[in-house]
Amino acid sequence: MLPLSRITATFSILSLMFSLAVVAQEEGKDDATSPMRLSYAEGDVSFWRYGAEDWVQAQLNTPLAASDSLYVGKGGDLELEMGSRAFVRADDDTQLTLVNNTPDFTQFKITSGRASFDLRTLPTGYSVELDTPNAVFTIDRVGYYRVDVDGDVHFITRRGGRATMVPAGAQAMSIHPSEEIVVQGTVVAEAETYVAPELDSWDRWNYERTDSLLDTVSERYLPNGVAGASDLDHYGSWRDTPDYGPIWVPDSVPPDWAPYSAGSWSWDPYYQWTWIDDQPWGWAPFHYGRWVNLRGYWAWAPGPVMRHPVYSPALVAFFNVGPNVSMGIGSGGMGWVALSWGEPVMPWWGRPGFVGRPYWGGWGGPHVVNNVVVHNNNVNVTNITYNNTHVNNAVSATTHEHFGNGHVHEASVPVTQNQNLQHLHGVLPVKPGPASLVGGAHGGTRPPESMLARPVVATRPPQESRLPWRTEVAKPENKVIQERRFVLVPKQAATDLPRPEFGAQTGAERSRPALPPRFGDMRREAVPGSAIQEHAEPTGRAEVEPKIMRPEAPEIAIPPRVTHEVAPQPQHAIQERVRAESGKSPAAPVMPRAAPAETRQQERADLPGKPANRVFSNEENNSEKNERRSRQRPEDR
């Protein structure tokens, strides 16, 4: 029997070996934050990143880093996704900057315009800060929040939202649900509270869009918190396969298409070289999971669902492409291919000790190297053959000069001898420049200088950004010196803070809301003339709203950006009215829906695997069952 000392020593050695084996998995992800993405943009939307030469047109699926700024021009609007259930939206004449983004804190700066924060989920201990010229607002619970900045600041809470406010030169205050806070003055600001107004067209659009994005089928295959599930519902089909489990097959891609072949490479201050795909669904399949080719179809395999997803700037293997393996490259270029099932990524970003070592972070499936499942991470990185390099047109390439400076299609290079590709691992041999920060995007609209220079109230300074071709850290954005006034947010609960005084303006009292709907009413409407109408039992409560006599009151002046409409309007009428007010002519949707399901099924009858999204089939569906139940007499039930 081994003595206790030897058992203890052996256990310590094994523990150390295990720690060394997984150190590459843990390095570099302690302070890593999954970035939010630009998920929707319509009209004139511009983007700027510290170090870029000027503002450019914003690209869908751009991951935002600290200090990134967005500007919405006349008639435009945008949406940012913070995970899978939190959304930030802004419309025309709005300047929005992501000041800081850490695992438990996000800080925005809004110097002009209108923005909404529809936060359906917020992790415990997480807070969102909104810096404005008149006050700083801190949000730490779910709800719907809206801020309008136009001289004065109007801050509205809905759906149970609460916040803490520190006006410029004043004490901290608490904001309760269903309030509109009006903050006036920038040196010593004064705040008043009013009841939240009726929903207007902007609020209703936010509600409806969020509801449509949350009710998705694809979420059943993704880890919690991964954005872009709704895109997968509209632009592809889920299939069930014996080897890979659920896979997603995109619709309507060109015959020679391959993953990571239509888009651009951009330089991120933290993740370095990052892929921005052109497809409207090009987020989750290019930052999570793996790609496989089945019977000539490219399919995205998310793998077994992980509890904590891990974002990657791209999941590819890089190669040095020389004249002997390609056509059109004189001195050499960069090539890449999508990782296949279970293959590791060799990080080109992160800390020393993490860069260039096999990494399976966020992957819940088997670890595969050279088509063999491995049970440790001690892999010879110089002898890996990537499975997708054997697929025709799977390897994309471009010149060193063009990499990161524009769309890859503008200087694509065909690879003819995949077997001679030289695998790169670690830091890539391409130096970024100012154009790399925006992926070579075309020029955009620059906000007015007065808007860029407008001072704001904040609780902390912006996160530093370093560029590899510069020695200094980030300077005030876009060469415009901007004053910041820093305040402290008290640590006590927001409910313990004083509230703003009730507003003195004598506006009309808000109308009482309609009574909540009853399912019995809907049932009678669905089956007119049914037996349930004849045998409906009294509810025992009054369903008629009491008539309230209210004194006449003079109308108050309403800020031009805050519209208070009582009666709901059809969505098409809202869109037409908004376009008319903004002077924007009707345009084709930026994100068109997929083709009708029956067309896709007829054209894609040979898809691999079996349909994954089958609904439960009983002798009668729910609508038939409800109709049968509604025709029954109450005494027969």
Tokens 């004249």 identify what position?
A: 323
Quick one: average pLDDT of 306-313?
92
- Domain region containing 399: 216-428
Nearest to 412 by CA among 397, 400, 402: 397
Residue 324 and residue 258 share a domain: yes
Q: Supply the pLDDT for residue 376.
A: 76
| 317 DSSP β-pair partners | 337
Mean pLDDT of 504-516: 85
Q: Give the chain's domain count.
A: 2
Contact present, 112 and 94 (Cβ < 8 Å): yes
Q: Is residue 107 included in any domain, yes or no?
A: yes
Q: Please give the pLDDT value at position 88.
A: 98
Residues 230 and 321 in one domain: yes
Give pLDDT tens digits for 437-456: 998 899 999 999 999 999 99
Which tokens is 362 given? 């966020």
CA dist 455 → 92, 107, 461, 486 (Å):
20, 15, 13, 11
**Cβ–Cβ contacts within 10 Å for residue 399, how many?**
18
> Which of 32-36, 214-218, 311-315, 388-392 has the weakest average pLDDT?
32-36
Please state, rounded to an integer, the average pLDDT across all residues of the chain: 81
**225 lies in the same domain as 310:** yes
Rounded distance, CA 189 to CA 184, Å?
A: 5
Q: Is 454 or 24 the better-scoring residue by pLDDT?
A: 454
In a domain, 147, yes or no: yes
Least confident of 281-285, 379-383, 478-482: 478-482
Structure tokens at 413: 């290079």
Whether residue 116 sits in one domain with residue 81: yes
C-alpha span between 294 and 285 (Å, rounded): 16
Q: Who's near 258: CB < 8 A, 6+ residues apart?
A: 298, 338, 391, 393, 394, 395, 396
Cα separation, 82 vs 62, whole angstroms: 13
Phi, psi of 519, deg, nearest 5: -65, -30
**CA-CA distance, 164 to 495, in Å (whole number)?**
9
Q: Domain containing 175 — which CATH number?
A: 2.60.120.1440
pLDDT at 553 over 60: no
129 with 278, same domain? no
Last residue of a domain, one of 212, 233, 264: 212
- Do 171 and 234 belong to one domain? no
Does any domain span residue 585? no
Same domain as 92, residue 176: yes
Q: For the chain, how many residues are written?
A: 637
**437 within domain boundaries:** no
Measured between its terminal Cα atoms, the distance across the chain in Å is: 73
Same domain, 327 and 352: yes
Q: Are residues 161 and 220 in the same domain?
A: no
625 falls in which pLDDT band (50, 70, 90)?
low
- Where does the pLDDT of residue 312 fall: very low under 50, low under 70, confident under 90, or very high at 90 and above? very high
Final residue of a structural domain among 428, 448, 467: 428
| Residue 121, in any domain of the structure | yes
Structure confidence at residue 318 (pLDDT): 96
- DSSP states along 462-504: PPP-B-TT-SSBPPSGGG----EEE----SS-GGGS--PEEP-
Q: For residue 574, which amino acid is it?
A: I
If asked whether residues 62 and 126 sit together in one domain, one would say yes
pLDDT in tens, 406-418: 999 887 777 877 7
Encode 192-212 in three state secondary structure: EEEECCCCCHHHHHHHHHHHH
Confidence (pLDDT) at 495: 72
Distances (CA, A) of 594 to 39, 85, 230, 541, 600: 17, 23, 12, 47, 9
Would you say residue 385 lies in a domain? yes
Pairing verdict, β 333-338 and 396-399: antiparallel
The domain boundary residue, chosen from 188, 212, 236: 212
pLDDT the model gives residue 84: 93
**pLDDT higher than threshold 80 for residue 632:** no
Q: Are strands 290-294 and 45-48 parallel, antiparallel or unpaired?
A: unpaired
Tell me: do 265 and 203 sit in the same domain.
Answer: no
pLDDT in tens, 146-194: 999 999 999 999 999 999 999 998 999 999 999 999 999 888 899 999 9
Name the band, by pLDDT with cuts 50, 70 and 90, for residue 630: low
Per-residue pLDDT at 273:
97
- 66 shares its domain with 179: yes
Residue partners of 18: CB distance under 8 A and separation at least 6: none
The answer to whether residue 10 sits within a structural domain is no
**pLDDT(374) > 50:** yes
The C-alpha torsion from 103 through 104 and 108 to 114, rounded to 10°, is 110
Q: Is the confidence at residue 114, as pLDDT, over 80?
A: yes
Inform me whether the pLDDT recorded for 59 exceeds 90.
Answer: yes
**Confidence at residue 195, expressed as pLDDT on a 0 to 100 scale:** 96
The single-letter DSSP state of residue 271 is T
Both structure tokens of 361: 């972070």
Joined tokens for residue 567: 């009666």
When comparing pLDDT for 578 and 293, which is higher?
Answer: 293
